[in-house]
Amino acid sequence: MHKGRTLVTGGAGFIGSHLCEQLLARGNEVLCVDNFYTGTRKNVQHLLANPRFELMRHDVCFPLYVEVDQIYNLACPASPVHYQFDPVQTTKTSVHGAINMLGLAKRVKAKILQASTSEVYGDPTVHPQPESYWGNINPIGPRSCYDEGKRCAETLFFDYRRQHNLNIKVARIFNTYGPRMHPNDGRVVSNFVMQALGNDDITIYGDGNQTRSFCYVDDLVDGLIRLMETPDDITGPINLGNPGEFTIRQLAETIIELTGSSSRLVSRPLPQDDPRQRQPDLGRANSILGWQPTTRLRDGLALVIDYFRSLQAEELPSKPLMKIVSNCA
């Protein structure tokens, strides 16, 4: 088990904060770096008293000079609402961020993991999606800043491996949910739960028959750590997600049931390039990492609902930060 100094970029974000928490529990020193564009200090507030935890405000679009022996590169807005708000900056974060973190890893001889995404598969024509599938991407659409930015980051990681023999790992993360999601980030789980708790209409884009696979954050973090701890010759990419496939309509109906909401389902037009299906092939994760998710969707949703209910007791923004544009997380 690794117990050195670990850098987590995007560490004050939803997934990053859970990763920092688990690394500390395993005895690591953790340097959490975030520019707080979508992450918040509140997500890591409970970690600040830990002497092995350090929080630094920094944008990965600029070089970082620190001493670490492993790097988890999670920095990038991940919900359509956030990454489409400033698409040029989104691409810069993926590409410049990868270059800067790879440069750091090369200088200090650190092992580095890239948090890539199932979005590299685009609107897939192969189902479920294995890592060998090259994807079906629109390179000039409204989602391209994120999809192509992450694809370019993967390219950079493998070129640094080939050119500089860098010790890299690439994880392709599928839809993930859990406590510390932003209530107004436009992701389908947070969107539906907040609408249900307010007894508001639940907005379904398209006919609601498009499918997603939802992975609880603790399961995902376990997969990331397992991948980081594999031998140097294992690079990935490796899919991390939950193979249980649900339609958007099924998700909405389950959330209405769990919240006891009086919300109704209403339809809106499907956004451009919204994928119809998304489900990971976990063959590599099973065989290489010995990993598979264990949290049932209903159990995970109950924890998210409890979290958002606790937020309602505090001051929430009265309006979403930006227009909700998609059912895709």
Q: Any idea where the domains of the chain sit in the sequence?
A: 5-176+216-240
State the CB neighbour count (10 A cutoff) for residue 222.
18
Residues with active-site annotation:
146
Give Rg (Cα) of the chain: 19
Task: For 5-176+216-240, give the CATH class.
Answer: alpha beta
State both tokens at 275.
Answer: 């994928």
Helices (H), 229-320: 248-259, 283-284, 297-312
- Confidence band, pLDDT 50/70/90 cuts, at residue 323: very low
Answer for the pair 287, 147: CB distance below 8 angstroms, yes or no: no
> Per residue in 120-141, pLDDT tens?
999 889 999 999 999 989 899 8
Residue with tokens 């997603």: 212
Higher local confidence (pLDDT), 115 or 136: 115
Q: Which amino acid is at 270?
A: L
State both tokens at 255.
Answer: 């959330």
Tell me, what's the pLDDT at 116?
97
Answer for the pair 279, 243: CB distance below 8 angstroms, yes or no: yes
Q: What is the 8-class DSSP label of residue 255?
A: H
Answer for the pair 320, 168: CB distance below 8 angstroms, yes or no: no
